[in-house]
Amino acid sequence: MLNDIEIAQAAEVWPIEKIAEKIGLTKEEWAPYGWDKAKLSLGSEHDSDTLGKLILVTSINPTPAGEGKSTVTVGLGDALSKIDPKTMIALREPSLGPVMGMKGGATGGGYSQVVPMADINLHFTGDFHALTSAHNTLAALIDNSIYQGNPLNIDPRRVLWKRALDVNDRALRHTTIGLGSPTSGVPREDGFDIIVASELMAILTLSNDLMDMKQRIEKIVIADTYEREPVTVGDLGVAGALTTLLKDAIHPNLVQTLAHTPTLIHGGPFANIAQGTNSIQATKTALRLANYTVTEAGFGADLGGEKFLDFKVPLLGKAPDTIVIVATVRALKMHGGLAKTELTQTNLAALENGLANLGQHLQSMQRYGVPVVVAINQFTNDAPEELSAIQAYTAKFDVPAYVSDVWGQGGAGATDLAQGVIEATERPAAFKALYAPEDAALEKLNKIAQTIYGAENVELSDKAQRQLKRFAKYGWDKLPIIMAKTQYSLSDDAKKLGAPKNFTIHVREFVPKLGAGFLVAMTGSILTMPGLPKHPAADEITIDKDGTISGLF
């Protein structure tokens, strides 16, 4: 059996020009990056409000068993494309750091992949590198300002803007900088995040255009003064240079699936400390060009799904017409208590036990007033009675569940799912927001925790309470909430699988992101710079004299 990269390498990839023509673009509206990738910048004649149907793919809480959310997204897109050729997919860009570590890419798998797979997983069109450049240029400008007489009165102990790389590098989590000599800066503590955690990444994916991006960048809070007043990029006066560095990165990237379904891949903010979905621009572009747009949100429905619905929808001005929740027999059995090594055995009891996780997500997604369907991503060892058990369970919620084999069959493995999704999008729907913008922070938090997670309540640490008081001074306490929570559990404890009950969500502290326009609520400790495993993927990746890559996954 071929592995992912071998399938991708064997594929017939159309010239990107043909894909651009397929979606009706003129030559002024796109630019090539190689023969198989492009960047789009749509002319204003596309600024219409006639938008196609939007399908949001989300999932149960991820487990080490793998759910294949991206693979289902691509397979569903291909299946819809066969029914209506005016179908597009909108995905996030993979981050290179994890690719060199151990993560599978974000380009799907098997016969439901986006190509050129290797390029997309490596440097792609350079968006993340442009962000890294802008991020670290800003960091250098801040330290330079402190060094050159500190006209903004920045307290070097309270610089909030860390540095960033697209590398998994635990040794850079905590550093000291400015050492060596008086001409080598001002010594202070610092650290590096992975670039997907950068506020610039969140901003890029939220901006409608260059000027919107520039205004957002101006608002980023980079430090406190000695008097503890916020200092912004606008105060430093370098938003223009940073926007200039992001002038190309702001445009969505066009590629194709193995079945030549046009796919926009753009931006990749974390789904815990940021909104976790691809860019507003890419989603909107797809909605304008296609009758059906399939997109996904990071992690489970409690993180990426909630953020898409509560944070992205108001900015996008368009709610999903259907929400697809991806589940697998394997993952549900893990939620039901099995270890990863026990998943090949049929075990209805464990499955029934784990279904509560799916149930919580079904309920929480249904409350938004949008039709929900379940996609069961089939694996080889799934027993027919296990698949039926899931279908019987979702039927109780009046939700259809479709068994799909997208890895092995591509779009052909998702025909029923696609048909079900089309039917769902035609059902009457009325999007209902979870909270109102004017709700107090604690009220927003409680609505998210109780309705989405099934928690009892939310507890704020002393620090978090003090912060909210201070933030009220600047109006930051009314910002939309972005929850930073483990993706593995509905609770804030990664070990509580299934659907935990009677738990409290503990908010340790808030991180205001003024440029992105949200307030991050930190629960537990969220690593913003991953490390590499003992045997990193980089050990296996190589390339031969003809440029053929192996070991990428």
- Which 235-294 residues touch its own copies, going by CB under 8 A? 237-241, 243-245, 247-248
- Examine the residue annotation and report whether 299 is marked as an active-site residue of this protein: yes
User: Is residue 31 within the footprint of its own copies (CB under 8 A)?
Assistant: yes
- What secondary structure, in 3-state letters, does 404-449 show? ECHHHHHHHHHHHHHHHHHHHHCCCCCCCCCCCCCCCHHHHHHHHH
Q: Does 160 bind its own copies (CB under 8 A)?
A: no
User: Quick one: which of 458, 453, 446 has its CA closest to 486?
Assistant: 453
Residues from 203 through 232 that contact its own copies (CB under 8 A): 209-211, 214
By CB under 8 A, residue 179 contacts its own copies:
yes
Check the CA dihedral 120-27-133-513 and report its sign: negative
List the catalytic residue out of 379, 476, 503, 518. Answer: 379
Contact call for residues 333 and 343 (beta carbons, < 8 A): yes
Total residues binding its own copies (CB under 8 A): 81
The nearest distance, CB 50 to its own copies, in angstroms, is 24
Residues in the chain: 553
Our CA angle for 184, 190, 196, nearest 5°, is 120
Residue 105 among known ligand-binding residues: no
For every residue of 272-308, DSSP letters joined together read: SSS--B--HHHHHHHHHH-SEEEEEBSS-IIIIIHHI
Taking the least distance from each CB to its own copies, the nearer of 126 and 337 is 126
Bridging pattern class, strands 230-232 and 504-513:
unpaired
Q: Which stretch binds its own copies (CB under 8 A): 58-66, 127-135, 371-379, 436-444?
A: 127-135
Quote the least distance from Cβ 506 to its own copies, whole Å.
Answer: 21
CB closer to its own copies out of 18 and 174 = 174
- Count the Cβ atoms, other than its own, within 10 Å of residue 123: 13
Residue 525 is classified by DSSP as -
As a whole number of Å, the CA-based R_g of the chain is 23
| Least spacing, CB of residue 497 vs its own copies, in Å | 23
* 70 is a site residue for its own copies (CB under 8 A): no
Residue 282 is encoded by which pair of tokens?
Answer: 């890419």
Task: Identify which of residues 142 and 505 has a Cβ nearer to its own copies in the complex.
Answer: 142
Residue 65 annotated as lining a ligand binding site: yes
The active-site residue, picked from 39, 69, 330, 447, is: 69
Question: Is 287 within 8 Å of 54 (Cβ atoms)?
Answer: yes
User: Which lies closer to its own copies via its Cβ, residue 179 or residue 392?
Assistant: 179
Q: Give the angle 310-316-317 at the CA atoms, nearest 5°.
A: 90
Residues 131-150 that bind its own copies (CB under 8 A): 132-133, 136-137, 139-141, 143-144, 147-149
Does 518 participate in catalysis according to the annotation?
Answer: no
Query: Both tokens of residue 463?
Result: 């620090």
The answer to whether residue 29 forms part of the interface with its own copies (CB under 8 A) is no
- Please tell me which residue in 20, 38, 271, 449 is annotated as part of the active site: 271
Under rule CB under 8 A, residue 42 binds its own copies: no
271 given a catalytic annotation: yes
Q: Token digits for 285?
A: 């572009």
Distance CA 458, CA 488 (A): 19
State yes or no: residue 35 binds its own copies (CB under 8 A). Answer: yes
Question: CB 135 → its own copies: shortest distance, Å?
Answer: 9
Catalytic residue, from 58, 71, 322, 523: name it. Answer: 71
> Please, which residues have CB within 8 angstroms of residue 398's CB and are 6 or more apart in sequence?
none
Note whether 32 binds its own copies by CB under 8 A: yes
Does 126 help bind its own copies (rule: CB under 8 A)?
yes
Q: Are 72 and 325 in contact (CB under 8 A)?
A: no
For the CB of residue 529, give the shortest distance to its own copies in the complex, in Å: 9
Residues forming the active site: 69, 71, 92, 103, 271, 299, 379, 407
The binding site for ATP consists of 63-70
